[in-house]
Amino acid sequence: MQLSAALYEERLTAPRSWWFISFLVGVAFALVLLPFGTLPMLGGLVGGTAVAAVAASSYGSVRIRVVGDSLLAGEAKIPVAALGEAEVLDAEEARAWRTYKADTRAFLLLRAYVPTALRVEVTDPEDPTPYLYLSTREPERLAKALEAARTAAA
């Protein structure tokens, strides 16, 4: 099997404000350790900032890719042949599908800091998952890539 170029690739990176919050977590750790002296305080600043930054980085490292005849979304790998119609969701519709319209059986690749999303039906009768909810900053482009992959696979 030969790897082909990705038709679509996106990393759902954490917003810049999260990096500032990581620093504030470090400051909080430093303040907690301040009564123990300067060295523990500095260790708390560095350690707390590092731990919070690693958490923000790992949460924001999830990727969505369309490669060949597959959709790779986080840990999931789904053949495009098992996918149906894709629906582009604006911020308001995306919020509705994250909350009261959500199905507990659905696959959600959810990042609350990304306001738009794509909802893709799963047509495989063997799969109990009714749809995929994918947070994405470019839902129209992802829908076009899925359609192109489906057309190329047929």
In the chain, where are the structural domains located? Answer: 13-59, 79-153
Residue type, 27: V
Are the C-beta atoms of residues 33 and 48 closer than 8 Å to each other?
A: no
What's the pLDDT tens digit per position in 53-99? 999 999 888 999 999 889 999 999 999 999 999 999 999 999 999 99
Average pLDDT over residues 130-146: 94
Are the C-beta atoms of residues 106 and 127 closer than 8 Å to each other?
A: no
Would you place residue 1 in the very low, low, confident or very high pLDDT band (cuts 50, 70, 90)? Answer: very low
Question: Residue 5: its pLDDT value, please?
Answer: 66
d(CA 40, CA 30) in angstroms, rounded, equals 8
* Residue-averaged pLDDT of the chain: 92
Question: Residue 112: its pLDDT value, please?
Answer: 87
* pTM for this predicted structure: 0.83
Q: Give me the torsion for CA of 136, 138, 142, 145, rounded to 10°.
A: -150
Is pLDDT above 50 for 40?
A: yes
Residue 4 has phi, psi (to 5 degrees) of -105, 165
Average pLDDT over residues 117-133: 94
d(CA 53, CA 58) in angstroms, rounded, equals 9
Are the C-beta atoms of residues 4 and 67 closer than 8 Å to each other?
A: yes
Sign of CA dihedral 8, 14, 15, 16: negative
Percent of the chain with pLDDT over 90: 82
Are the C-beta atoms of residues 83 and 120 closer than 8 Å to each other?
A: yes
Average pLDDT over residues 32-40: 95
d(CA 70, CA 8) in angstroms, rounded, equals 11
Is pLDDT above 60 for 43?
A: yes
What's the pLDDT tens digit per position in 109-123? 999 899 999 999 999
Taking residue 152's Cβ as centre, other Cβ atoms within 10 Å add up to 12
Is pLDDT above 50 for 2?
A: no
Question: For 95, which DSSP code?
Answer: H
Is pLDDT above 80 for 6?
A: no
Pairing between β-strand 131-135 and β-strand 107-109 as defined by DSSP bridges: parallel
